[in-house]
């Protein structure tokens, strides 16, 4: 499970960091982090795919969100017993607290 998160999170973090830095032109003197490189990369992808370069970043963002749901779904499927136990403990605790509040309210309203 740890490797799944590393192999998913590493590229997501790398791509998000590169896009954020290059979009805002925070290059630190490195060409690949410049706005020119950002425009060039998306121009090349646009030419290869045959679509406008401006439409590629939202498509990539949607794909990353969809992949994230799949990864977290796999984690939830694998940890479902622990999640169900946590939910039951939480709901039992909240029902006990609600009962305690109800009994306090009835005692405080006594004459």
Q: State pLDDT tens for residues 86-109.
A: 888 888 776 666 666 666 655 555
Mean pLDDT along residues 55-61: 93
With a pLDDT cut of 70, the percent of the chain lying above it is 84
DSSP at 109: T
The 10s digit of each residue's pLDDT in 5-30 is 889 889 999 999 999 998 888 888 88
Sorted by sequence, the CB contacts under 8 Å of residue 49 that are 6+ apart come out as: 56
- Nearest CA to 25 out of 14, 36, 16 is that of 36
DSSP-derived 3-state class of residue 51: coil
- How many whole angstroms separate alpha carbon 87 and alpha carbon 27? 46
């Amino acid at each position: 499970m740890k490797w799944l998160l590393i192999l998913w999170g590493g590229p997501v973090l790398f791509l998000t960091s590169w896009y954020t830095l290059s979009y805002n032109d925070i290059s630190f003197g490195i060409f690949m982090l410049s706005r020119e490189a950002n425009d060039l990369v998306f121009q090349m992808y646009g030419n290869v795919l045959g679509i406008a370069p401006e439409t590629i970043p939202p498509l990539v963002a949607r794909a990353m969100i969809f992949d994230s749901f799949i990864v977290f779904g796999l984690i939830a499927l694998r940890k479902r017993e622990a999640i169900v136990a946590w939910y039951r403990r939480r709901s039992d605790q909240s029902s006990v607290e609600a009962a305690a509040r109800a009994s306090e309210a009835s005692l405080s309203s006594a004459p």
